[in-house]
Structure 1
C-alpha cells in the first residue's frame, strides 16, 4: 500500500493504480442542489439525459447534459428510489409507495413488472439492474414501509427482505437470495457471471451487516450460487454502486465514493462534502461520473469509462 496517501481535488489514491482513473486537473462539480435524499441515477444515452429520484420529496428529476438544465421528470413519483435503463432504452424504477417495480414504455405509460411474491405485497423495492438476457433483478428491503418519510408506514406482508429475479419471458418473480438483513444496491460484473449485492442491515442494528457480497450467477443466469463478502464499509454504509470497464467497483459511502478493484482491494476514494447514496456513469463516452449525494447532484469527468 502507498503509505503516503495522495489527495488531489477530492481524489485520494490509496493504491497507485487509482491514479490512472482521474486527471490531476479535474475536480468534482456540484450541478444542482435542493433535494432531501437523492438516489437512483439512470442515464439515457440517446437523449444525453440523467434521471434520478428525490425520494422524500416524492419526485424524479432530470439533468440535460446538452444545456445543463435540471427539471422535474415525474411528480409525484410514488417515492421512487432506484432506477435503470434496459437495452431498449426504457426506464425501470423501484417505487416505495407503490411497493412495486415499474417500466416506463416509449409512449410514456407505465407497466407493472413486479408488485407481489407468492401473492404477498413486496416491501419497498430499492435498487434494480437488468441482466444481458433481459431478466430484471431487484432488492426489496423494508426502508419504504418503516416510516412515512419515504413511503407509507406498514407491516411487511412477506416478513423478510429478499432479492428477486423477474423472468424476461414469463414475468415470473423468483426469490434468488433470502439471507440478507436489508439488501440494497446491486450490480453485475462486466461478463455477467458475478452479482454484487450490498447489505445495509447496520442502518437499524449496530451489529448488522455493512458489506457487499459477491455471488456466482448460475443455472444459465437464473439463480445465485455461492457467495462471499467482497468488501466491508469503513465509513458509513455502502449503498448504490457501479462497475467500470476494468471491473472496478465505484461504491457510495459515508465520506464519498470508495473504489475497489476486482480483487476486493480498496484502491482509492473520491471525497465529497455530502453522504453519497448512488452514482452512474454517463456522457457520450461513459466517462462522466454522476453522483447523487444527499441533497445534491455532482459530476466528475474521469480518465476511465463505466
Structure 2
C-alpha cells in the first residue's frame, strides 16, 4: 500500500471536508478499474479490472488483494441488495446477474422485448427490491471491454427490473450514454449520469416510473462516470481530475484530487466513512468526515 498526498478542496460552507490528507493506494497494475462495492459482512471490497476480465477482492483487515473471479464476463458495476447478495453488470454476457450466498448465479435480466442489451454498466437497488441499471454500448464497441457486436436495441436506456415478476421495462429513453446512477437517501430521487452529454440529471421516483430529468450539474474536468451519495444527499462523482462533490441543487461543493482519471466510487468501512475510488490502473481510499448514505441492505428489514 502506498500513501499519496492529495488536494482536498471545499468551495462551499455546506461541505467542510477534513480527515486524512493522504490517499491510500490499495492496489495498482490494472488496465481499467471499475465497479467498487464494499461487502460489510466480510469487510472486503470487490472491484473490476475490465480489460483483464477479472474481479479482484481487497481485504480490509489484512490489506491483501486477490482474484475473486476470473474470467468474469467483463464485469463492470455492482451493488448489494437487501440480503447482502452481490448484483453485477456483465458487459461480456450483456446481462445483470445476482450472486447467491452459496456462490451460484441468478440471471436477473439479459434482454428486453426479446432483444439483448448493449452492455449493462452500473446498477442500484431500490427499497422495494427493484433493480435499476444503465445500458450504454461500451462493452460491444470493441473486444477491449467485452465482445464486439452490433446493438440489437439501437439505443441506450435506463431500465428497471421488477422484484416480483422479473419484468424489465425502460424507465428513461432519452440518453446518449447513460452511466453511473444512484438513489437519494430517502429513495425519492434518482440521479443518472449521461457521459456523452457530460452531465448529471435528477429524476423524481414515482413508484415504478421516473418524472422530470432536468440537468443539475455539468462536469468541469474530463467526464462524469460513476456516482454515489452521502447521508446528507450530496453526490460524489467520478471525474477526470478526481472526485467531485455536488449539492442536490447542482452546486460544486468540493473536490478530492486523484492522480488518475476516476471511474467510480463507493462508501465503505464499518462507519461508511471511507471513500473507495477506482481510477484507471489503481484503487484508492480516503478516510474522512463524510459518511455514505445507508445502503439498501441497512435500511430494508
TM-score (norm 2): 0.94
Name the CA distance, whole Å, in 2 between partners of 1:111 and 1:22: 42
Q: Please, what is the CA RMSD of the aligned residues?
A: 1.0
Contact (CA 8 Å) 2:76, 2:122: kept in 1 or not? yes
1:93-140 alpha-carbon deviations (Å, 9 max, x no partner): 001100000000000011100000000000000000000000000000
Task: Give the conservation status (yes or no) of the 8 Å contact 2:7–2:21.
Answer: no
User: Partners of 1:17 and 1:161 in 2: how far apart?
Assistant: 35
- Local SS of the residue matching 2:139: helix
User: Do 1:248 and 1:262's aligned partners in 2 also have CA atoms closer than 8 Å?
Assistant: yes
- 1:149 is matched with 144
**TM-fit CA distance, 1:10:** 1.8
Once residues 122 and 53 of structure 2 are traced to their aligned partners in structure 1, the CA distance between those partners, rounded to angstroms, is 16
Partner of 1:180: 175
CA distance in 2, matches of 1:186, 1:272: 21
User: Aligned ranges for residues 104-123 of structure 1 at < 5 Å?
Assistant: 104-123=99-118
Figure out how many residues of one structure are paired with residues of the other and give that number: 288
Structure 1 counterpart of 2:219 = 233
Once residues 230 and 50 of structure 1 are traced to their aligned partners in structure 2, the CA distance between those partners, rounded to angstroms, is 30
Rounded to whole Å, the distance in 2 between the matches of 1:280 and 1:215 is 21
> Which residue in 2 is equivalent to 1:205?
none
Residue in 1 aligned with 2:45? Answer: 50
Q: 2:204 aligns with which of 196, 216, 222?
A: 216
Q: Which residue number corresponds to residue 163 of structure 1?
A: 158
Partner of 1:17: 14
Superposition deviation, residue 13 in structure 1: 1.7
Distance 1:126 1:22 in 2: 32
1:62 and 1:246 map into 2 onto residues whose CA distance is 29
Contact persistence 1:55–1:80 (CA under 8 A)? yes
- Aligned-pair CA distance for 1:302: 1.2
1:246 counterpart residue number: 232
Cα distance, 1:26 vs structure 2: 3.4
Alpha-carbon distance in structure 2 between the residues aligned to 1:123 and 1:115: 10
Q: Is the 8 A contact 2:15 2:254 kept in 1?
A: yes
CA contact (8 A) 1:10 1:28 kept: no
**Contact residue 30 and residue 282 of structure 2 kept, 8 A:** yes
Question: Does 1:64 pair with 2:52?
Answer: no
- For residues 223-274 of structure 1, the C-alpha deviation after alignment (integer angstroms, 9 at most, x for no partner) is 0011100100111110001000000111000000000112211011000100
Which runs of no fewer than 5 residues in structure 1 stay unpaired? 1-7, 202-208
Structure 2: unaligned runs, 5 residues or longer:
293-301
For 2:7 and 2:264, the matched residues in 1 are separated by: 17
Secondary structure of the residue aligned to 1:228 is strand
Match among 74, 78, 84 for residue 79 of structure 2: 84
User: Paired residue for 2:189, among 175, 186, 194?
Assistant: 194
Paired residue for 2:273? 287
After superposing on structure 2, the runs of 4+ consecutive aligned residues of structure 1 that deviate more than 6 Å are: none
Aligned-partner Cα distance in 2 for 1:153–1:26: 42
Give how far 1:304 is off. 1.6
2:216·2:248 contact (CA, 8 Å) conserved in 1?
Answer: no
Find the aligned partners of 2:10 and 2:112 in 1 and give their Cα distance: 44
Distance 2:132 2:105 in 1: 18
> Which of 119, 133, 137 is the equivalent residue of 2:128?
133
